[in-house]
Copies of this chain bind each other. A is one copy, B any other.
Amino acid sequence: MSLIECVPNVSEGRRPGVIEALVAAVRQTAGVHLLDVSSDRAHNRSVITVAGDAAALKAAVLALFEAAMATIDLRTHTGEHPRLGAVDVVPFIPLEDVTMEACVALARETAAEVAARFQVPVYLYEEAATSPARKNLEDIRRGEFEGLAAKMAAAEWAPDYGPRVPHPRAGASVIGARMPLIAYNINLATDRLDVAKKIAAAVRHSSGGFRHVKAMGVALEDRRIVQVSINLTNYERTPMFRVFEAVRREAARYGVAVLESEIVGLVPAAALTATAEYFLQLASFTPDQVLEQRLRKVTR
């Protein structure tokens, strides 16, 4: 059976009753498995992680829109995290026995139905993007809800689906398909923020680093250390171990050691397996040698 992950980001992270209603809409859809919910008060945003097949996920996203349209009003929404709409972003991610192309198709179908049913304009992003200028979420979201009406007036920001004006309360949504994202932080044994910032600049794509790395240097003030905070957007092409080793070497150049690293949320097993392969210098290893993988293959 094909298995797809879906990680809707909704613009509500403060009212527990509303968050519960949004999660319930998703969870109550038949065939959908709830993996995680994480809400952030400062961001005023919740991230819901679910898995299922294409039909179940499409139904779940439509149910989520229905619940969000009834409870979220962007005109009064505040929070630190940039956002365009009530259901702000919906990525579909291939997990098992499914291609990226199938996830792109699912994103398009879902976007079309969201636009038709709720009169919400939808932009397609990442692998589902209809032009290179719309690949990056940050570019689509620049200006946020408050600047959306002006942005949409420009020809190049006509939505892929739905009306050419924002929905009054729900703004616009960004729906697409992408690889699993790994949120990965590397903490340094120093309080020198400039070092973390220089290392982040060295490894991230936007300033000359690895193709699938986004990174910034931040201070963890309560611990008096600094962190290179990283998003790995394609762990197959830019693997964890390579980024870790690069950060470690850059830090050494400033006389700083890596204190520890941390994975925030979920990580695909393949990313960890590849890391073990690298450091153990494993030759001719295949995922088929992982006991649990073999078991899943013969028991399902």
Which residues of A approach B to under 8 Å, CB–CB? 3, 5, 33-36, 51, 95, 180, 187, 240-241, 244, 258-263, 265-269, 272-273, 275-276, 279-285, 289-295, 298-299
B95 pairs with A291, CB closer than 8 A? yes
B294 pairs with A269, CB closer than 8 A? no
B298 pairs with A240, CB closer than 8 A? no
A295 pairs with B263, CB closer than 8 A? no
Residues of B near A260 (CB, < 8 A) are: 281-283
A266 pairs with B290, CB closer than 8 A? yes
B282 pairs with A266, CB closer than 8 A? no
Protomer copies: 2
**Please, which residue of chain B has its CB at the minimum distance from the CB of A298?**
B33
Q: Which of B36, B279, B283, B285 contacts A279 (CB 8 A)?
A: B279
A262-B282 CB under 8 A given contacts A34-B298, A272-B276: yes
Residues of B near A291 (CB, < 8 A) are: 5, 35, 95, 180, 266-269
**Please, which residue of chain B has its CB at the minimum distance from the CB of A272?**
B276
Query: CA of A173 to CA of B189 in the docked complex: distance in angstroms?
Result: 56
Residues of B near A36 (CB, < 8 A) are: 294
**Please, which residue of chain B has its CB at the minimum distance from the CB of A290?**
B269
Q: How far is the CB of A157 from chain B (nearest CB, A)?
A: 34
B280 pairs with A268, CB closer than 8 A? no
Q: How far is the CB of A178 from chain B (nearest CB, A)?
A: 14
A289 pairs with B261, CB closer than 8 A? no
B275 pairs with A280, CB closer than 8 A? yes
Residues of B near A293 (CB, < 8 A) are: 269
Q: How far is the CB of A296 from chain B (nearest CB, A)?
A: 8
Residues of B near A284 (CB, < 8 A) are: 262
B267 pairs with A290, CB closer than 8 A? yes
A283-B262 CB under 8 A given contacts A267-B291, A269-B290: yes
Query: CA of A70 to CA of B249 in the docked complex: distance in angstroms?
Result: 63
Query: CA of A261 to CA of B272 in the docked complex: distance in angstroms?
Result: 17
Query: CA of A273 to CA of B181 in the docked complex: distance in angstroms?
Result: 18
In the complex, 9 of the A-B residue pairs with CB atoms within 8 angstroms, ordered by the A residue number, are A240-B276, A240-B280, A261-B283, A262-B282, A267-B290, A268-B290, A269-B291, A275-B275, A276-B279
Q: Which of B241, B265, B289 contacts A280 (CB 8 A)?
A: B241
Query: CA of A180 to CA of B261 in the docked complex: distance in angstroms?
Result: 29
